[in-house]
A and B are shown apart, each in its own frame.
Chain A
Amino acid sequence: MTPTRKQAIIRRVKDITLGTTLSLALLNGSALLQSCSSNNDDEYSESEEGRKTESFKKGVRTFITETAPGTFKITDEQQVGPERAGAVVNYFDGHRDTLSVAAAQALVKSDSSTSRYFNNPSSYGQHHGNGLANVLLWGGLGYMIGRQFSGGSSFDRDRRYSQGAYSNPSVYARSSQIGQDVSRSRVVTSRPRSSRGGFFSRGRSGGFSS
């Protein structure tokens, strides 16, 4: 059973640490979201013995080119150590920029073409753009910035979006392999042994709020 942890629970609102993403966005607006994964407990798992968590022991470095003003494509992806993960962006005007995973995540979360999908994949159904946030979300880095999938009937659509983020099919095929390596220990290629799915596929009117 859950032991009861007693502590002074009432505190001044300004002391509430609502948690990284939520509090930063609430208190300061999205500008400060860049730091949002720094408060994350990823290192927590690796500091403990016997923990098998694959908290990104491998990372992805994505090379992105702005092929026409406002249109971005992934031209290459490499598997790197997590400390080198991120995106290298070559802009149409010739300048180059490097984005950390946290910065990429912040952009995906705040950009209007991706924020909705990121926060609630199942509600996605609107504009699917060619912008930078779009390729960050749908490319191999999406794994590291917390992309979620709506799955099911959206599966083919989601894969199409992923393919669309790459400059050509061979880059996509190569990158798919990297994505799998990043979280390999929990990934299998075929349907799990004697597994079943499709439960509750008839749905239900109304939720289970209580």
Chain B
Amino acid sequence: MIHLKSLSTPPDAQLHNIGWDWMLGTDTLPYLANEVVMVSEADVDAYYNAANELFEMYVAAAQHVIDRNRFAELGIPENLIDMIRLSWDDDRNIHLYGRFDLAMTDKGVKLIEFNADTATCLPETAVVQFAHLRANELDESLQFNAVYETLVGQFRYLREQNAGLDASLLLSTMRDEEGNGIPEDEANVALLAEAAREAGFDTAIAYIDTVEFSAEEGIYRQDAFSGRYVRYDYWFKLIPWEYIAEEEPDLCALLTQAVQNSRIMVLNPAYTLLFQSKYILKILWELYPNHPLLLRTEAEPLTGEPSVEKVLFGREGANVRILEASGQVRQEADGDYGDYPKIYQQYATFPTDSAGHTYQAGVFYAGEPCGLGFRRGGIILDNGAQFVGHVVEG
């Protein structure tokens, strides 16, 4: 059972001070809950230890996929495989951050999936829930939240490991069909840019369609002040790898060459798509059958127990179907990802509050587990799910 604590003062003033008023806009206001989840220290330890152990298991599973050449099963586009191997074999390609989605069940923490490539909810987890505590003068409370400082540490570590590159980072999102930015995406990269700047990077943000890519010379953006082109040796993209490979194969080829020439460092590295494919959940079950953190996952519908059908590259609960033990559909969500192959994961019961909302824990991992936040909603957590912060009970 989830226990909530009401925090009546919204973090408006705190967010306004840092220019994050967008969080308070009409589109996003309902997205912020005015209460927080009470979490025991034992549960925080469990989330922390789970994320640590799971990351090591993911690394082993990805190594297995590469060694056995099982890319096709994972749905990895063929034109990405070279870059995946390149990035995996070169230890300078550090996974910047990702988010484990976990369920606290009556049998302990269970892995739902790992958003390793383009995880969002960074501002909510790192800043908003902290600001929410501050607004309610709960500075003595505990919070499992070192997301921001851990990201700064990751950027510093990247610099140390890549002495041959300039500490310059360009961050890119996509525009929508009307040519406008997507506020949520932009807030996520703004937070990353801030962390990188603190770690000594020269940073800039540019829509991907304004960025110039050269296999020999690297990644550039045109400077408005001078009209000249400025090179960036690191490029963070909040654009999924499979989408780049499928929709812009020329860009995929250019990036592969540039990575091969050691001209650029792309974040997150291409190998993170191995973590992102939900087929890795099946690989994990193969390698670690009945592991206490795992839910049974197969490529065919599970027999004899309820399961969840997911597409290999679905996001935000799209194209998810919940199946009864009989195979009957209990609930389904449509979406844009229906063409991908599917996997079937044992159904996990999420904890609920007194109003019947379900809660999924999101644990950020940036070289180490570094922060916790919750999404709440119905049985399928979709893009309408609310973010809920937390307080650790002393």
Give A residues with C-beta under 8 Å from B: 1-7, 9-14, 16-22, 25-27, 29-30, 39-42, 44-45, 48, 50-55, 109, 115-116, 118-123, 140, 142-143, 146, 148-155, 158-159, 162, 176, 179-180, 183, 185-210
Chain A's closest residue to B314 (CB) is: A210
Per CB-CB distance, the 4 closest pairs between chain A and chain B, nearest first, are A41-B200, A158-B224, A151-B210, A195-B214
Residue of A39, A116, A142, A151 with most partner-chain B CB within 10 A = A151
Q: Which B residues are CB-close (under 8 A) to A22?
A: 18, 127, 148, 194
Contact of B221 among A21, A42, A151, A179 (CB under 8 A): A151
Task: Give the CA-CA distance A179 to B152 in the complex, in Å.
Answer: 27
Are B222 and A30 in contact (CB-based, < 8 A)? no
User: Are A149 and B224 in contact (CB-based, < 8 A)?
Assistant: yes
Most buried by B among A41, A176, A200: A200
**Once bound together, how far apart are the Cα atoms of A4 and B199, in whole Å?**
19
Q: Are B52 and A6 in contact (CB under 8 A)?
A: yes
**What's the minimum C-beta distance from A151 to chain B, rounded to whole angstroms?**
4
**Which one of A26, A42, A179 lies within 8 Å of B130 (CB-CB)?**
A26
CB contact between A176 and one of B131, B213, B226, B248 (< 8 Å): that residue: B226
B30 to chain A, nearest CB (A): 16
**Once the chains are docked, how many angstroms separate the CA of A180 from the CA of B223?**
10
Q: Given A41-B198, A176-B226, A210-B118, verify A18-B167 contact (CB < 8 Å).
A: no
Contacts of B78 in A (CB 8 A): none
> Are B177 and A205 in contact, CB atoms less than 8 angstroms apart?
yes
**Interface of A (DSSP majority class):** loop
| B152 pairs with A19, CB closer than 8 A | yes
Q: Which of B103-111, B133-141, B299-307, B347-355 is found at the contact surface with chain A?
A: B133-141
B173 neighbours in A (Cβ, 8 Å): 207
A-B contact pairs, 25 of them (CB 8 A): A1-B95, A9-B144, A16-B145, A25-B14, A25-B18, A51-B167, A52-B166, A53-B168, A120-B187, A149-B223, A150-B210, A151-B207, A176-B226, A183-B230, A189-B229, A192-B216, A196-B212, A196-B214, A197-B210, A198-B209, A199-B209, A200-B247, A200-B248, A203-B179, A204-B177
Interchain CB contact under 8 A, A18 and B149: yes
> Known: A13-B130, A19-B195, A203-B177. Contact between A26 and B17, CB under 8 A?
yes
Number of A-B pairs, beta carbon distance below 8 Å: 309
Q: Which of the listed residues B144, B167, B370 has the most CB atoms from chain A within 10 Å of its own CB?
A: B167
Q: Does B65 reach chain A (CB closer than 8 Å)?
A: no
Are the C-beta atoms of B316 and A197 separated by less than 8 Å? no
Contacts of B82 in A (CB 8 A): none
A108 to B210, CA, bound (A): 25
Give A154's nearest chain B residue, CB to CB: B224
A26 vs B182: C-alpha distance when bound (angstroms): 24
Q: Which of B193-242 contact A (CB under 8 A)?
A: 193-195, 197-200, 202-218, 220-232, 238-240
Cα A53 to Cα B160 with chains together (Å): 12
Q: Kindly report which residue of chain A lies nearest to residue B233, judged by CB atoms.
A: A186
Q: B142 on the interface (CB 8 Å rule)? A: yes
